[in-house]
Structure 1
Amino acid sequence: MSRLPLITGADPAHSLDALFVNAPLRDYDQRPRTNDYTLPVLGMAYIATYAQYAGFNVGVLDAEALGLGITETAKIVNVAAPRWTAMNLLAPTYEMSARIAAQLDPDIALMAGGHHAKAMPDRILADPRMANLRALVLGEGELRVAALLEDEQRRRELPGVVWRDRLLGTRVTGITSDPERAAAMLGPDINALPYVDRRFLPQDPYRAVPTEADRRLAASRGTALLGEAAVSGHVEANIVGSRGCPYNCTFCGAAVSANPDLTIRVRTPENIIGELDSLHTEFGVTAFRFVDDLFLGVGRVIEEQMAAFTRHRVGERYVWDATGRINVLDRVSDAELDRLVRNGLREVALGVESGSDRVLKAMDKRIDAEMTERVTRRLTEHGIGVKAYFILGFPGESHDDLQATVRHIHNLWAIADTNPGDVRASVFEFRPYPGTPVWTTLTDAGHAPDTLLAYGDVDLTEDGADESMRARDEFNFSVGIQFGDVPLTKIRSTLATLTRDQHQRNRTALGGAA
C-alpha cells in the first residue's frame, strides 16, 4: 500500500459533499502496480478546487496514484459516504470506473465527465453498472459541477449536462435560454479560475531525480539554479497554460473536429507567472511542466508569453518544459530560440509520431520527417531538450513505414549526440479513441465499437524491457487488433527494443552501468 494519504484535500471534520475518484488503470488487486509516479489529475483538481472555493467540502481519491484495486476503491468511497461521487471517464479506464460504480452504495449520487463521456454519452447512460448516474457533464466541468453540488435539480438549466429519466428511460439534456450564460458555463474564463489547490494532488509538486537534461543544462548554461538541480534535482510541478488545440491530428482526443464546442483559450502571462511564483513560495518549486495540449503551438502566443517571461526574469529563477508544435517551431528564428533559452525552457515535448511521410499525412500532422530532424537539430543546438512521442501500428502502416520510424528515432538520437540538448524517444502502440477522426474511419471500415473499446494492458517484459518499462504502466495499453500490415508481435518487440535502447541511453548518460 502506498504511503500517500487516501482522500486528499477534504476537511475530515465535516461530511463530504463530493469525492472525486480517479480510477486505476488496471485492477491492482490482481497485479500490483510497478510505477513510482503517475501523472497528476490536474483536470479533476481544477474542478475540486473550484467546488471548494464555492463552499463545498470535497476530496480526491486518486486510485491510480495509490495503486488501489477495484473493490478497495469502492470500499473507501462507501466508508467516506459522500453525497456525490464524481468520476473522470477515459476510454482505457472506463471498465475500471464502471466496475467501481457498480459497487457503490445506491444512496451515493454519481456524476461523471471526461473525454469518453463526451464521445459516447448514450452508451454510458445505458450501462447498467452506471444505474446511479445522475449527471453526465460533457466538457469543462468547473461551473456546472459546483451548480450540481448546490442543487441537483439545477441540472435542467445546465447546458451540456445529460441524464436518463428513471421512469421513461429516455435521455434528458439540460438547457438554458441564455446563450451568454451557456458559453460561460461550457468554456469558463480560465484566468478567473483559482489556482489548483495542490492538496488535491498527492504527487505534485514532487522532488525529481536529476536527469541528463539537467546535467546538460548545467554544463551549457552554468547558472547556480541549474548546478544545484543537476546534483539534487528540482522540486517540480505540472501546470496548464491553455485549453484546447487548433489542430486535427486524426488519432487525438483533443482534435478540433472532436471538440467543435471548445473555445481555445490561453491564460494571460501574468496569471501563469502568478501561479509559478505561488508554487515556488509555498513548495520551493523551481521547475514546471506545461501539460496542456499545445503551449508552444501558436507564434503570437509564444511572443506574448516570452515577452512577459523576460519582464519577470523567469529564466533566472525557474526552468520549464512544454508541449510544442513542430511546424510552428520550424518557423521560429534563432533569436527567438535564444530568448526561449534565456527564459528557462528546458525541454519541448513534440508529437513526432512517425518517420514515414505517408503515415504522417494519414495522421494529418502537417509535418514531414525532414522538418522534424531540422527542428530537433536547431532545438538541441540551443541546448533545448526534445521529448519525442511516436505511435507504432497506426492504421495502414506497412513494414517499410515501421522501419522508417525506427531509422528516424536513431537519426534524432544521433543529432542529440553532437549537441548540448538531449533527445528522449517515447514510443506507444496505437489505440483508437472514440470521438476522434480515425475512430470514424475505423468504424466506417467495419470495426465494431465493442472491439475497438476492448482495452487491455500489455506486459512487455517478456521482450526484455523490464526495468526500462518502469513508470510506463499508464501507457502500455492495446485493443489487440492489427490495424496495418505489421503483426502485433513485431510492433511490440520493436516498441520494447526502442524503449530499452532509450533506457540504456539514459543510464549511460547518467553514469550508470553500460
Structure 2
Amino acid sequence: MSGAAQQPTIALVNPSVGYSDRRKSKPIGLAYIGAYLAHHGFPAAGFDFGDSPQSPAALSGEHGLDRFETVGFSVYNESLDATLEHAAWVKRRNPEALVVLGGPHATAVHTEIMRDCPDVDAVVRREGEKPMLDLVRHRHESRLDVPGTTVRTPSGEIRVNIDSPFLDDLDSLPFPDFPFVSDSGYPPLTYFDSNRGMVVPALAVNSSRSCPYNCSFCGVLTIGRKYRMRSGESVVAELDHFRTSEGLDHQHVYFSDANFYVYPKRALGIVQALHAYDPRITFSFGTRVNQLIKHQDFIPDLKECGLRFVELGIESASPDVLKRLSKGVDPSDNLAAVKLLERHGLGVSLDFIMIDPETTLTDLRANQRFLKAGGFYDYVPHEHLYTHLALYAGTPIRDYYQERRGTTFGMSELPPIETLIEDPATARVRAALVWFRDAYQPAVDQVLAEAEALLQARAKHRAEHPVSRVELDLQLDVVAVRHAPNLYFDRLLDDCERHRGDGAADFAALLPRPGTGAPTLAALLLRAAERIEALTPDSAGAVDRAAALLPAASLTTPNTAERSGP
C-alpha cells in the first residue's frame, strides 16, 4: 500500500433522485472506488443520498460537503440535475474544491457537462478507480492530463483525454468494503430459501464487469463491452471477508453481474469454489435467454452447487419489440428458457419491458399470452405489469427515438414514456395500469407480504398450528389477490379492443372481482386482512394497515361491507 504525505480530503457522493420509494442498497460502484482510494493511501468519506427526499442544498449543508478538497459524484440519468445543484452549492462555498462527476450518465454526456456546467471540474469516463486515483494524486499538478477524464483547461477549452485502460485483473481490486453515511441506512439483505423454509443473510457480489452483447437499451454500453472476470478464489475470499467484517453468516449470494453466464465454465467454477467453501451456500444470477438455452447442460451442476433462481432478461414477447431492443432472440426462446428452469425446479426473476413508444395492443396481447403460458399470473412482485422502456443517454435506442421524433433530448432529460407512446390505445393501457399501481398495488403488496409470511410460519410449525378453515380460506384469498393485477390487465385489454382503444374513462369500472363470492377488490383485501388477524390474535392491525393503503372511495362501495368475516 502506498501512502501520501498530505492526503487530500475526499467525499464520494451518491446524489438524491428526489424520491424515497426505491429499495435501498449500497452503491457498489462508489464503494469500489472508495476502497481503491483507501488502498492507495487516500481515504474518502462516503455519502449515500440516493433515496433522500431532502433538497441537494439541504443535504450538502447538513453533511458539510464544502469542507472537502475533492468531491466526486456518481451520476445516473435521474440524478444529474440534483448533482449539479450539489456542485453549485459546494463551489459557492469552496471555489477551490475539485468537483468530479462519473458513472454511466456522466460518461454518456461528458462533453455537454463540461461545456454547460461551470461548477464541474472534470468528468471521469467509464471505470472510475484509476482515473479518480490519478486526479487526487495530481490535484495540484497535472490533473488536466489524466487518462479517462474530460476536463476544462484554464483557457476554457474542453479537453477529452485518452481513455484509461480497462482494469483487467479484477482479482487485484480491494473488496468494496466502504462505509456510507445515509439517512435511512440499509436494510439487511436476506433471501428466503423455500427449500429449507428459512430466511438467511445474503450478500450481493459482482464477479465480472460489463457484457459483450449490445442490447440497444442497456446503459452498460456506455462503460464499454469488454468483459472481464474474477476468479472463484477471489469471490470466496470476498464472502469470507464480509462474513467476518459484518458478523453475519451470509448463506446466499446474489451475483449482481450484468451477465454472470457469459462463460458457463467460469460460472460453474466460481460456484463450485463457493460450494467447497461452505455447502450451505445458495446463489442466484442474471443472464440472457439465449445463453441459458445454449448452455443448458450446465444447469444440473449449477443446481447441485446451490442455484435457486435465475434473473432472465426476457424484456418482451413481441417480435417487433425484441427486434427494437436488439435482443437477438425469438419470443419462443423466452418461453423455452422459462420452461427449462421450471423443469429443473428453479425459480425465475423476470426482467420485462411492458411498453415502449411503439407498442401496440397486438404487442400487449403477446405479452399477456407469454405471462399466462409462463405461469406468471402467480408471480410476485407485479412490477412487470408497470415497466416501460427508459431512454438512457448513450444508448442506441435513445438515438433511434431522437431521430424518429426529429428531436434531441436534453442532457439531463429522461423523457416520460407517456410523452413518447404513439398508439392512443397503448397510451390508455399505460394510464390505466399506472392508476391501478397507485391505487391498489400498495395494499395488494401489504396483504400478500403479511399473509404469505404468516402461512409460511404456520407451515413450518404445523404441529403447533393445525390447518384450520380460516387458514384454508386465507390461502384461497392469497391466490385471488396474486391474480388480481393480472386480471385487471386482462379486462383492460379486452375493453380497449372492444372500443378500439377508447374505452371507459372510469378505470375503476374495470376492476376484477376475484376470489370466493366475487367480492370487490377492496373487500377481498380487507377480508384477507381479517383472516390474518383471526390467525394471529396477538398482532392485530392487518385490517387497518390494508385500509390505510386503499382508495377512500373503495371503502364506501357497498360491496366492501359485504366481505365475509373469518
- 1:86 matched residue in structure 2: 72
- 2:269 matched residue in structure 1: 304
Distance 1:204 1:411, change over 3 A: farther
Alignment of 1:385-464 (within 5 A): 385-413=347-375, 426-427=383-384, 428-450=387-409, 453-455=412-414
- 1:474 matched residue in structure 2: none
Three-state SS of the structure 2 residue aligned to 1:445 is: helix
Query: Structure 1: which 5+ runs fail to align?
Result: 1-13, 177-181, 219-226, 457-477
Alignment of 1:95-114 (within 5 A): 95-104=81-90, 105=93, 106-114=95-103
Code of the aligned partner of 1:162? T
Aligned residues of 1:313 and 1:343 also touching (Cα < 8 A): no
Three-state SS of the structure 1 residue aligned to 2:371 is: helix
- 1:137 matched residue in structure 2: 124
- State the alpha-carbon separation in 2 of the partners of residues 61 and 292 from structure 1: 23
Match 2:169 to one of 189, 192, 195: 189
Code of the aligned partner of 1:325? R
- State the alpha-carbon separation in 2 of the partners of residues 497 and 325 from structure 1: 30
Three-state SS of the structure 2 residue aligned to 1:20 is: strand
Aligned residues of 1:163 and 1:172 also touching (Cα < 8 A): yes
- State the alpha-carbon separation in 1 of the partners of residues 38 and 97 from structure 2: 19
Aligned residues of 1:204 and 1:237 also touching (Cα < 8 A): no
- State the alpha-carbon separation in 2 of the partners of residues 89 and 447 from structure 1: 27
Query: Structure 2: which 5+ runs fail to align?
Result: 1-5, 456-477, 479-524, 529-566
Alignment of 1:111-510 (within 5 A): 111-127=100-116, 130-152=117-139, 153-167=141-155, 169-175=156-162, 182-183=164-165, 186-200=166-180, 206-208=187-189, 211=192, 214-215=193-194, 217-218=195-196, 227=197, 230=198, 233-255=199-221, 258-260=222-224, 262-283=225-246, 284=248, 285-310=250-275, 312-314=276-278, 316-333=279-296, 336-413=298-375, 426-427=383-384, 428-450=387-409, 453-455=412-414, 478=416, 480-485=418-423, 486-494=425-433, 500=441, 503=445, 509-510=452-453
Distance 1:210 1:116, change over 3 A: closer
Q: CA deviation at 1:425?
A: 5.3
Code of the aligned partner of 1:54? H
Q: CA deviation at 1:495?
A: 5.8
Q: CA deviation at 1:337?
A: 1.8
Q: CA deviation at 1:444?
A: 2.0
Deviations 1:235-285 (A, max 9, x none): 222221100101111111113xx455x521011111111111222233212
Three-state SS of the structure 2 residue aligned to 1:435 is: coil
- State the alpha-carbon separation in 2 of the partners of residues 210 and 306 from structure 1: 17
Q: What is the TM-score of this pair, normalised by structure 2? A: 0.70
Distance 1:79 1:294, change over 3 A: closer
Aligned residues of 1:388 and 1:424 also touching (Cα < 8 A): no
Q: What is the TM-score of this pair, normalised by structure 1? A: 0.77
Three-state SS of the structure 2 residue aligned to 1:347 is: strand
Q: CA deviation at 1:307?
A: 4.2
Q: CA deviation at 1:506?
A: 6.0
Q: CA deviation at 1:481?
A: 1.8
Q: CA deviation at 1:338?
A: 2.2
Deviates more, 1:369-378 or 1:196-205: 196-205
After superposition, the CA RMSD in angstroms is 3.0
Aligned residues of 1:432 and 1:452 also touching (Cα < 8 A): no
Three-state SS of the structure 1 residue aligned to 2:159 is: strand
Distance 1:479 1:165, change over 3 A: farther
Distance 1:452 1:355, change over 3 A: farther
Distance 1:174 1:333, change over 3 A: closer
- State the alpha-carbon separation in 1 of the partners of residues 8 and 343 from structure 2: 53
Aligned residues of 1:23 and 1:87 also touching (Cα < 8 A): yes
Distance 1:278 1:268, change over 3 A: same
Code of the aligned partner of 2:238? E
